[in-house]
Amino acid sequence: MNDMAKPPRSRAAKWTRRGFIGAGVLAGGALIVGVAVRPGNPVGKLGPIVAGGEGEQLVNSWVKIGADNVVTAIVPHCEMGQGAHSVLAQMLADELDADWSLVRVMQAPADGNYVVTDTARGFVAPGTLDAPDWLEPTWNGLFTKISQLGDVMITGGSSSIRTTGQRTMRIAGAAARQMLIAAAAREWGVPAAEIVTANSMLSHAASGKSAPYAQFAAAAAEEDMPQTPALKQPKDYRLMGTDAPRTDIPEKVTGAAQFGIDATVPGQKLTYAAVRKVPVPGTRIASMKADVAKTMPGVLQILNMGDFLAVVADSYWQAQQALNTIEAEYTKSESAIRSSADQFAAFAAALDQAGDQGGKELVGKGDVAGVLSVSAKTFTAEYRAPYLAHAPLEPMNATVWVRDGQCEIWTSTQVPLMARSAAAKAIGLSADDVTMHHPMLGGGFGRRLEVDYVVMAARIGLATGYPVKMIWSREEDTQKGLFRCADLSRFTGGIDAKGRLVAWNNVFTQHNDPAEACDAPFYDVPHKSIRVAEAELHLPFAAFRSVDHSQQAFFVESFIDEAAHAAGRDPVEFRLAMLGNSPRHKAVLEKVAAMAGWGTRPAAGRGRGVALVQSFGTIVAEVVEVDMSQGKPRLTQVWCAADPGFAMNPDGFRNQMEGGIVFGLTAALHGEITLKDGAVEQGNFNDYPMLRIDECPPIAVEIINADPVHLGGAGEPGLPPIAPALANAIFAASGKRIRELPIAKHFA
C-alpha cells in the first residue's frame, strides 16, 4: 500500500523556485545588483535589455529605479486577467518600502534570462523552501539551472503569488532596500540601523538628511548583496494584505492594453492566416480542392501542411472566407471511438476490468474489502464528467516573421520559453535565433500552457517568409483544440452502525495533475482504496482551470454528500465529524455554514448544498442555494469561505474566487463537448454556451488568513467546490441526485 503514488507529471507541471541573489555589477551604463538569473553568468547583460531608458538603473534583476524615483517591478509571470502582475509588484514594493503610486510593472523578457525558479522548486522539491540560510545559494543555483534547461517560465497551477511572490519578489525587494540603506549610511556617515525607509525615501532623523531611492541606486551596487535578507512579519506589512489598486486595469479600461491578437510588426505590412486542422485526431489531409479559393480577392497563398490547411491573405476576413470554400478529404482514423457513447463505453470497460480491487493503487489504507463486508450500510455511485473546451475570449493566435535565419513571434502564451523552443525546433532554428514578444493574454485557463498554435504559426511563417498573423476561428478553437478530459468514476461507501463513513473504495480512468486531486485526506476515513484504471482518451488533453480537481471534486464531494444522506445525517455535521484532525478545514466549513445560515430552513422549493475542497494550497468551502420551484434549478446565492494562508490582496483574491465560481458554474450547468463520427460536434457559443448574467447568483466571499508563511493559490481553488455544491443543493431541494454533468441537460 502506498500514500498517493504519483504518475508521470505533465510538461507544464515540471516547475521550480526562487531567483538566485548574487553580487552587484555595473555594466552598459545600467546598474545591476543581482538576483542572479543564470548562475555563472554576469547579470550585467540584463541592463541594456530591461533598463535601456534614459536615467533607468537596474538595482536588482527584478527591480529598476528611474531618475524620477519610479520603481518598476520586472515580473516573470504572465498577466491574463488574474492580477498576478500587480500583486507580485505589491509584495516586492512592500519589502522595498516603495511608494505604491510610483510603482510600475514590466513583463520580463522571454529570452531565457528570466525563469521562475521558485515555482519550479515549489513544485519539484517543496521541502527545500525552508532550507537553512547557508544552503540557499546552492538550492537556488541548482533550481535556476534546472529551470533554464526546462524553459520554466510558466504561469499556471495558481503558483505565481505563493512561489515567485512569496520568495523571489519579497526577497528581491528586501535585499534592494537593505543595500540602499547601506549606501546611504556610507555616504552620510551614520549607522545603517538609524536610517528609515518609507514611500521610496531614505531618511535619518538625527542629521535631518533624506533622499529618494534614485539618488543611491548606483552606490548600492557597491554594497554586498544579502543572500537571505530579513523579511517583514505580517504586523509590519504596509501593502501586503491590502486592496492595493491593480496596475493593469487603467489600460484595459482605455483599450491601450496590448494582447497577442493586437500584434503588429513595426515597419511591415501584416498578412493574415486562417487555418483548419483535421477534424478527427490522428488523421491527415489526403487531398484538397481549392479552385475557388485561388480566385478570391486578397488570397496570397494556400498551404497544405499535412495536419492542417492554411490560407494567407491580405486580411483575416479574406483568408477565412477563402478557407471556407476549400474541400478536403482526410485519412481514416484508427481510433474505435466515434461517439461520446463509445468514449464512455471504453471508460466503463476499463472500470469493469478493474473491478473492486484492480487498477493502479494511488491511495491505500486499512482493510476496505473487509470493512465493507461488515458495514451496517453500503452504497454505490457512478459519476460522469464530459470533455470541456477552455473557450478563452481571445482566440488562439500568433504573429510570426521568419527571415534570414531568424524568427520573431508575438503571441499570448502561459509558457513563452517552451513556445520559443517548440517553434524553433519546428522550423529548424536554434532557440537563440527566435525572439519572443510576450503581451497580455485574453484568458488562458490552461489552454495557453500548450504551444500547438505557436508551432502552426511558425510553420506558416517559414512557408511565407513575410510577416503573418495566424488566427484560429472560434469554431476552430472549440472543435480542434485540446480539452479537459472526460472521465468516469465509481465509488462504494461503507457506513457503520454509528453513522460514520468507515470505508471508501473508488476507481476512475484519468489521472493527471495534481496527483492528489482524487483524494480528500483531511476527512478521517479509516479504510480507503483509490485507484486508476487507465482508458483511452479520444481527444487530446490539456490542463483545464484546476486540472483534475475540476472533475474529481465533483466526484468526491458528491460521494461524501451521498454518504451523509445514507447515514441519515446533516451534510455539514457529517463533514465536521470527519475533520477532527484538520482544524483549518473545520474552520472554513464552519465559516461558510454560518455565512449561509445553514441551520435555518430555506424557503419553500429551495435547497442548499455544500462542498469542501483543498486545491493548490487553498482550502475552500462553498454553499449553493437553489430554487427548484419551477422544475429547473435557479441559483439564488453562493457563499464561499476560503483559507489561502494569507491573501496578499484581499480584493484580488475575492475576485479570483468569484471568477472561479462563475467559470465552474458554466462547466457545471452547460459545459459538454460531444463526439460524432470521431469529431467534436460543438462549434461556437451558440452550442457551447457560457453562463449568462441572468443565471449568475450573488456571490459572497469571506477570507480566513491562517498561515502567512505557506500561501495558497487563488486562480483555481474557487472552481472545484461549485459543481458538487450545486448538485447537492438540487438533491436537497428536489430529491433528484445528479451524477452526470452538465446539469442543464437533466432539465431540458
Task: List CB contacts of 419: < 8 A, sequence separation 6 or more.
Answer: 409, 411, 413, 436, 451, 454
Average pLDDT over residues 321-349: 98
Exposure of 211 by Cβ count < 10 A (0-12 exposed, 13-18 middle, 19+ buried)? middle
What is the pLDDT, as a whole number, of residue 131? 77
Of the candidate ranges 91-100, 147-156, 574-583, 680-689, the one whose mean pLDDT is the lowest: 147-156
Comparison of pLDDT for 365 and 47, the residue scoring more = 365
Q: At residue 213, does pLDDT exceed 90? A: yes
Q: Which of 449, 417, 461 is nearest to 435 (CA)?
A: 417
Q: How confident is residue 497, by pLDDT bands cut at 50, 70 and 90?
A: very high
Q: Which of 470, 476, 478 is nearest to 311 (CA)?
A: 470
What is the pLDDT, as a whole number, of residue 288? 97
**Do residues 668 and 570 both lie within one domain?**
yes
Exposure of 128 by Cβ count < 10 A (0-12 exposed, 13-18 middle, 19+ buried)? middle
Say which residue the cell 451523509 belongs to: 564
Q: Say if strands 634-643 and 699-703 run parallel, antiparallel, or are unpaired.
A: parallel
User: Helices marked H in 258-315 — which ranges?
Assistant: 291-294
Average pLDDT over residues 415-421: 97
Q: Which long-range contacts (CB under 8 A, 24 or more apart) does 448-451 make?
A: 448/80, 448/392, 448/412, 448/413, 448/414, 448/415, 449/12, 449/154, 449/156, 449/414, 449/415, 449/542, 449/543, 450/482, 450/542, 451/413, 451/415, 451/418, 451/419, 451/422, 451/423
Give the chain's length: 748
What is the pLDDT, as a whole number, of residue 111? 94
Q: How confident is residue 222, by pLDDT bands cut at 50, 70 and 90?
A: confident
Of the candidate ranges 126-140, 390-404, 639-653, 690-704, the one whose mean pLDDT is the lowest: 126-140
Write out pLDDT tens, residues 690-719. Answer: 999 999 999 999 999 999 999 999 999 999
Q: At residue 42, does pLDDT exceed 50? A: no
Does 8 sit behind a cis peptide bond, omega within 30 degrees of 0 on the bond before it?
no
Residue where one domain finishes, among candidates 471, 503, 536: 471
Exposure of 420 by Cβ count < 10 A (0-12 exposed, 13-18 middle, 19+ buried)? buried
**Cα–Cα dist 465/454, whole Å:** 16
Q: At residue 12, does pLDDT exceed 70? A: no
Average pLDDT over residues 182-196: 97
Q: At residue 417, does pLDDT exceed 70? A: yes
Residue where one domain finishes, among candidates 471, 506, 531: 471
Q: Is 251 a domain residue?
A: no
Q: Is 352 a domain residue?
A: no
Q: At residue 1, does pLDDT exceed 60? A: no
Q: At residue 7, does pLDDT exceed 60? A: no
Tell me how many degrees the CA angle 609-531-622 measures, rounded to the nearest 5: 15
**Do residues 330 and 448 both lie within one domain?**
yes
Q: Is 454 a domain residue?
A: yes
**Do residues 591 and 702 both lie within one domain?**
yes
Between the alpha carbon of residue 152 and those of residues 15, 119, 412, the distances in Å are 6, 8, 16
Q: Which of 528, 516, 614, 602 is nearest to 563 (CA)?
A: 528
Q: Is 153 a domain residue?
A: yes
Of the candidate ranges 54-68, 153-167, 599-613, the one whose mean pLDDT is the lowest: 54-68
Cell of 470: 495566424
Q: Is 80 a domain residue?
A: yes
Q: At residue 277, does pLDDT exceed 60? A: yes
* % of the chain exceeding 90 in pLDDT: 86
**Do residues 425 and 560 both lie within one domain?**
no
Torsional sign, CA 93, 95, 99, 102: negative
Q: How confident is residue 607, by pLDDT bands cut at 50, 70 and 90?
A: very high
The 3-state DSSP class for residue 635 equals strand
Strand partners, 385: 487
What is the pLDDT, as a whole number, of residue 436? 98
Between the alpha carbon of residue 390 and those of residues 136, 381, 400, the distances in Å are 39, 28, 24
What are phi and psi for residue 488, nearest 5 degrees? -135, 135
* % of the chain exceeding 70 in pLDDT: 94
What are phi and psi for residue 28, nearest 5 degrees? 60, 25
Task: List CB contacts of 178: < 8 A, sequence separation 6 or more.
Answer: 226, 229
Does 514 sit behind a cis peptide bond, omega within 30 degrees of 0 on the bond before it?
yes
Task: List CB contacts of 137: < 8 A, sequence separation 6 or more.
Answer: 20, 227
Q: What is the CATH number of the domain that holds 711?
A: 3.30.365.10
What is the pLDDT, as a whole number, of residue 123? 82
Q: Is 530 a domain residue?
A: no
Cell of 634: 435557479
Q: pTM of the full predicted structure?
A: 0.93
**Total domain count for the chain?**
3
Amino acid at 565: H
What is the pLDDT, as a whole number, of residue 309? 98
**Cα–Cα dist 642/717, whole Å:** 9
Q: Which of 35, 105, 112 is nearest to 75 (CA)?
A: 105
Cβ of 474: how many Cβ atoms within 10 Å? 15
What is the pLDDT, as a whole number, of residue 149? 87
Q: Do 73 and 93 contact (CB within 8 A), yes or no?
A: yes
Say which residue the cell 517553434 belongs to: 423
What is the pLDDT, as a whole number, of residue 144? 81
**Do residues 19 and 164 both lie within one domain?**
yes
Residue 85, CA atoms < 13 Å, CB-side half-sphere: 19
Q: At residue 31, does pLDDT exceed 60? A: no
Comparison of pLDDT for 28 and 124, the residue scoring more = 124
Of the candidate ranges 44-53, 84-93, 290-299, the one whose mean pLDDT is the lowest: 44-53
Write out pLDDT tens, residues 725-744. Answer: 999 999 999 999 999 999 99
Q: How confident is residue 219, by pLDDT bands cut at 50, 70 and 90?
A: confident
What is the pLDDT, as a whole number, of residue 37? 31
Q: Say if strands 71-75 and 103-107 run parallel, antiparallel, or are unpaired.
A: parallel
Helix or strand holding residue 691 (H, E): none
If phi > 0 it is left, if psi is from -120 to 50 it is alpha, else beta; for residue 597 that is left
Strand partners, 36: 20
What is the pLDDT, as a whole number, of residue 40? 30
Write out pLDDT tens, residues 423-445. Answer: 999 999 999 999 999 999 999 99
Of the candidate ranges 216-230, 258-272, 492-506, 578-592, the one whose mean pLDDT is the lowest: 216-230
Summary mean pLDDT of the chain: 92
Residue where one domain finishes, among candidates 455, 471, 487: 471
Exposure of 277 by Cβ count < 10 A (0-12 exposed, 13-18 middle, 19+ buried)? buried
Q: How confident is residue 238, by pLDDT bands cut at 50, 70 and 90?
A: very high
**Cα–Cα dist 470/468, whole Å:** 6
**Do residues 158 and 267 both lie within one domain?**
no
The 3-state DSSP class for residue 71 equals strand
Q: How confident is residue 34, by pLDDT bands cut at 50, 70 and 90?
A: very low
Q: Is 339 a domain residue?
A: no
Between the alpha carbon of residue 39 and those of residues 117, 137, 140, 154, 595, the distances in Å are 12, 10, 9, 20, 50
Q: At residue 35, does pLDDT exceed 70? A: no
Average pLDDT over residues 44-59: 86
Q: How far apart are the first and last CA of the chain?
A: 45
What is the pLDDT, as a whole number, of residue 357? 97
Task: List CB contacts of 89: < 8 A, sequence separation 6 or more.
Answer: 73, 75, 103, 104, 105, 169, 247
Q: Is 445 a domain residue?
A: yes
Range of the domain at 158: 14-174
